[in-house]
Structure formats: structure tokens, C-alpha cells
Amino acid sequence: MSQRRVLLVTHGGRDEAVTLAREVAQELVDAGIQVVTATDEVADLQQSSVVSVEPESAAEGCELVVVLGGDGTILRGAELARPFDIPMLGVNLGHVGFLAEAEVDGLSTVVRAVVDRRWEVEERTTLDVVVTLGGVVTARSWALNEASVEKVSRDRMLDVLVEVDGRPLSRWGCDGVIAATPTGSTAYAFSAGGPVVWPEVEALLVVPISAHALFARPIVVSPASEIAVDVLVSNQSGAVMWCDGRRLVELPPGSRVSVTRHQTPVRLARLHRAPFTDRLVAKFDLPVAGWRGQRRRGDSGSSS
């Protein structure tokens, strides 16, 4: 039987994250699990028992990717895990951490669950993003949360035409447009005024950013829809596209960004099936005092 293998991803710039990563790595190694990390992180761990691999193939042969950090680090973990269809388990060391499964005070429980293989897998929709100019593909990327088309110049609005399913929807002078997944509905799209969408809902979102128009409401479309954003030639300074705030593509005037549902999801490891409502209340610290509904067994009583 081959040795079990886990990829450990952490925020190397944070002392707390590095210290915790060292502890987790040692506990997993002591349990007979091989721990690997990307070459650009191995120096932070300073442990001879951790195997260093190139980032592009870091998750290959692993059964799980364990991420210690905030949302940005978890998105990086998704970049490493997704090409190899490996589930990712996030431990939140940041602020909100919607993608994380556990908080840092439950780290010992996480390690024990990894050793005992006690997790379930939840698939999250991703976006396939294609950029064309004059009918020629100039870039291709993907996103777990969102693809955003944004203005470059602070003193100029971005002039775009948005299309859904091959039909024009509206022309906007705006700061940008976000195409998001349900997972991304609690990220950038939420900050721009979009709705919160439960993760199991199959849908895509279109959220304008500071649009100067009578019709500038966020809309929810079919998961089979194609969303297209044309950067009109009237934009003298062009635009940029960000995928998950991590991958940047410059968009000259005349560029077209097409967004559809990607066939490859991101797989999240879940230790327990908590209702999304509870997650929403906890992450946003929503006031629920006065609720008189029936408590579930093991409920912490946060509603009181």
C-alpha cells in the first residue's frame, strides 16, 4: 500500500500561520502521512520531514490539500488542487473565511479528521473565462469566486455592453462588471451590492459596479447561460480583468470577455454538514437574538 500524501499550503508571510503549519506537518508525519509543500513555501516550514515539490504539480498524488490562511491563501490552494481534482480543506486564519471549513481554535480536530479520513466532498461551481479581440482568443482563465471587468483610469468610467445568451442586456457607464458563482456571492459581488446565493443553487450572477444607469440591478441567470462583457472602443484607457482577484488580464478597447460555467469544479472537504444559514450568521455576526425556533443537538446557542 502506497504512503498517504497531503499537500500543506500556508501564508508564508504570517508568523502565526507558519508556526501552526509546522505543528500540523509534524502531527501528520507522526501519523505516517507524507506532507508535501510547494518549493516557495518549504523554507518557511524548516522541517526535513516535509517534501518540497514544484507548485505546478504540488497536489499530484495527494489525497487532500490542507490550507492554513485567509480567503486569499485558500484561493491559492484551489489553484493547486483543482487541476488534479483533489479536495481542499481550509482552516481560517483570516477575517471572514467563507471558504474555510474550520477556525484555528479547532485545528486539533482538523488534524484528527485528516488522519482518520473523516471528510465529505462538496463540489463548487467554477467559471470558464475566455477573452477575445477581433474574434481571436487572447487569454483564457477560470475563477471560483468571480471574474471582474474593471476600469483602469480612476477619473474615467468604463463603457461596456453586457450580453446574456447571445442577446444584449444593457450598456453601462460604470466602474466595472462582476460575473460570479454562488460561492463568489459572498465575496466581491457581495461588496458590490449583489445577492447572497446558497452554494447548492445552480446559477450565475451579473453585478454591475457603480453603474450610471436606470437599470443597474444585480441579476441571477441560468447556470447554462453565457455572459459576455464587451469593452467598447470608446474606452480610451482600456480595462482589466481579474479572476478571483489573483489572475490579471489586460483588456484593450474592443475586447470581449465571455463567461460560462466550467466543467471542472473545485472540491471542498467538509468535516460536517452545517446549514449555510448558520455559516452566514457566524461569518457576518448577524443578530439573531429572540429566535424561538427549535435548536439542533449540539447547537452552541448563538441565537440567544
Q: For the residues of 264-275, what is the DSSP string, one character each?
A: S-EEEEESS---
Phi then psi dihedrals of residue 153, to 5 deg: -90, 130
- Catalytic, 230? Answer no
Q: Which residues of 267-296 are buried (b: 16+ CB within 10 A; e: fewer)?
A: bbbebeeeebeebebeeeeeeeeeeeeeee
Contact by Cβ (8 Å): 8, 25: yes
CB atoms within 10 A of CB 65: 26
How far is it, in rounded angstroms, from Cα 173 to Cα 205?
19
Catalytic residue from among 30, 40, 44, 71? 71
Contact by Cβ (8 Å): 69, 80: no
Q: What residues are labeled active site?
A: 71
